[in-house]
């Protein structure tokens, strides 16, 4: 895979909800945005065609490469919302049927996204919109009412690295990339979780691939031994956001 640069941007909001599709009466959220949700967010910023889910053809795993880092610690809250029955036509406002349901939300989420695309036009369109803080559609974190803000961190050179030793990874990690024996250094202080999430949809919005994702709840780097290469970002001295970062793409 010939990648030598990535776009990096941060996205945040007051609340996020990435619904677990197997929940019904009490909607629960995935603890992190699935790759499929990140595709929708990037598609909204770039303005890729939404009709018939056409934008999804640009986000197959062999075209769009996306990494994710938690910046704010994961915190969840439950909020009761009134759901209106829209299938019936009430005679008056007072006849509208409402059902109160408690939704699970992520509170004060903030993420860093690493992005590369094989289509230079898609890559350039996202870069231009990020620089100008412009989006074609309203970006949101899962639900339409969870409006998101974003900020361009920059375009940075990256290089592929391989090592048999522990290395600090700042992004979330697909477990298939972690060595089976002593793959995680649990001597490092942290709150570790793993969850299966959808990462690719076809044009009918049917999940074609899932992945188990490993992450640290507060956003700390994970010390891991990897069986596949990771990507290293060398920030120049003009960037005030910190030192080098290591990440992997979700796949």
What pLDDT is attached to residue 99?
79
Q: Are strands 110-117 and 222-224 parallel, antiparallel or unpaired?
A: unpaired
What pLDDT is attached to residue 91?
67
CA–CA gap between residue 205 and residue 200 (Å, rounded): 9
Q: Which CATH architecture has domain 5-247?
A: 2-Layer Sandwich (3.30)
In the chain, alpha helices (H): 35-46, 120-131
Comparing CA positions, the residue from 228, 227, 220, 225 lying closest to residue 245 is 220
Of residues 97 and 14, which shows the higher confidence score?
14
* Structural domain boundaries in the chain: 5-247
CA–CA gap between residue 220 and residue 232 (Å, rounded): 17
Q: Are strands 76-84 and 149-161 parallel, antiparallel or unpaired?
A: unpaired
Q: Please measure the distance between the N-terminal and C-terminal CA atoms of the chain and give it in whole angstroms.
A: 13
Beta-ladder partners of 41 = none
Using N-to-C axis directions, what is the helix angle for 120-131 and 35-46, rounded to 10°? 70
16-38 pLDDT per residue, tens: 999 987 766 678 999 999 999 99
Comparing CA positions, the residue from 184, 215, 213 lying closest to residue 196 is 213
Residue 235 pLDDT more than 60? yes
Tokens of 249: 């793409």
**Mean pLDDT, residues 205-225:** 94
111-141 pLDDT per residue, tens: 999 999 999 999 999 999 999 999 999 999 9
> Cα Rg for the chain, rounded, in angstroms?
19
* 3-state SS, residue 56: helix
What pLDDT is attached to residue 90?
66
SS (H, E, C) 135-159: CCCCCECCCCCCECEEEEEEEEEEE
Residue 242 pLDDT more than 70? no
């Amino acid at each position: 895979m010939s990648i030598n640069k990535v776009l990096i941007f941060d996205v945040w909001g007051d609340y996020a909800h990435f619904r677990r599709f197997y929940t019904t009466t009490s909607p629960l959220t995935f603890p992190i945005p699935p790759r499929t949700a990140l595709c929708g967010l990037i598609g909204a910023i770039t303005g890729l065609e939404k009709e018939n889910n056409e934008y999804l053809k640009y986000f197959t795993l062999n075209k769009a490469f996306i990494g994710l880092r938690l910046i704010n610690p994961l915190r969840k809250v439950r909020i009761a919302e009134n759901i209106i029955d829209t299938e019936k036509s009430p005679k008056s406002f007072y006849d509208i049927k409402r059902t109160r349901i408690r939704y699970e939300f992520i509170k004060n989420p903030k993420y860093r996204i690493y992005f590369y695309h094989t289509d230079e036009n898609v890559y350039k369109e996202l870069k231009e919109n990020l620089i100008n803080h412009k989006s074609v559609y309203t970006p949101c974190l899962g639900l339409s009412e969870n409006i998101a803000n974003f900020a361009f961190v920059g375009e940075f050179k990256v290089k592929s690295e391989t090592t048999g030793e522990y290395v600090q990874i700042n992004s979330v990690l697909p477990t298939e990339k972690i060595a089976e024996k002593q793959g995680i250094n649990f001597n490092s202080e942290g709150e570790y979780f793993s969850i299966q999430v959808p990462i690719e949809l076809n044009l009918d919005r049917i999940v074609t691939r899932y992945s188990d994702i490993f992450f640290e709840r507060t956003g700390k780097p994970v010390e891991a031994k990897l069986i596949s290469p990771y990507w290293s970002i060398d920030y120049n001295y003009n960037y005030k956001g910190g030192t080098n970062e290591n990440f992997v793409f979700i796949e």
